[in-house]
Structure 1
Amino acid sequence: MQAARDRQKSYADLKGKPMEFQVGDKVIIKVSPWKGVVRFGKQGKLNLRYVRPFKVLEKVGEVSYKLELPEELSRVHNTFHVSNLKKCYADKPLAVPFGWTSF
């Protein structure tokens, strides 16, 4: 039993990476679990996975961050868990409009 536990831990340690952001960093938000809350254009498998970069305002607790959200997302709480964020490495701003309906 201990050998199996150690093996699983070593697999998890390889996959897991500590995510940390600084105030002022740009991050993109994972929106695939928001199916009933906010629609971002297409539905089904063509639905967006991540949406545009947002600025980190502050770190809240160990694994949560408060983001600067636009008026279109006023119904969404502005604090997100680190697992729903991804660092944005784009040089120029990537802005996918929220009413995006076609290519």
Structure 2
Amino acid sequence: MGKKKLLGPTVIQAIVDKVNIIRTRLKIAKDRQKSYEDVHRKDLEFKVDDRVFLKLSLWKGVIHFGKRGKLSPHYIGPYEIAERIGPVAYKIDLSEELSRVHDVFHISILCKYISDPSHMLETPDIELKDDLSYEEQPMQILGREEKRLHNKTIPLAKVL
């Protein structure tokens, strides 16, 4: 009682109008989000013999490199790019420890390495004996203190 019935072409026309409104609003939202993303996007491209870091977050729980949990590294490397496979795929020269890992990676897993002399650690010259042992010589005593337990005292020294 009192309900208005829409017939044939008017129902179809109303639905088509609503679908067109939805399509235009979705296109406006998509274009706005694309314009925001285009400002922050930068195209990456590497050459052969460039050095890159390898991102590990995708392998979480599959392969552990040294530490687990919060102290696990986010990137390992640097490694050299051996060849370019496609527009977004690169083959990398990996070390022997990573021989079981496939050596072709997507560009999103790679991070450019900028060489810095502070990244290189200097190893001191150590004189090894015939039995491959060596002597450590303390350079300086930085501090002394005594640790008291219930029934004994332990002398501690901080040595450089």
- 2:109 is aligned to 84
For CA contacts below 8 A with separation 6 or more, give which structure has more relative contact order.
1
Contact 1:65/1:81 (8 A) holds in 2: yes
* Structure number with larger C-alpha Rg: 2
One-letter code aligned to 2:56: V
Which residue of the other structure, out of 46, 62, 82, is the alignment partner of 2:71?
Answer: 46
Structure 1 length normalisation: TM-score? Answer: 0.83
Question: Structure 1 residue 15 and structure 2 residue 49: aligned?
Answer: no
Identity %: 49
RMSD of aligned alpha carbons: 1.7
Separation in 2, partners of 1:92, 1:21: 21
Separation in 2, partners of 1:94, 1:68: 20
- 1:100 is aligned to none
**Shift, 1:68, TM fit:** 0.2
The C-alpha deviation readout for 1:23-76, integer Å capped at 9, x for no partner, is: 000000001111233211221222100001000011111100000011100110
- 2:90 is aligned to 65
Where do 4+ consecutive residues of structure 1 move more than 6 Å?
A: none
Higher helix share: 2
Change (3 A) 1:94 1:37: farther
Separation in 1, partners of 2:55, 2:40: 19
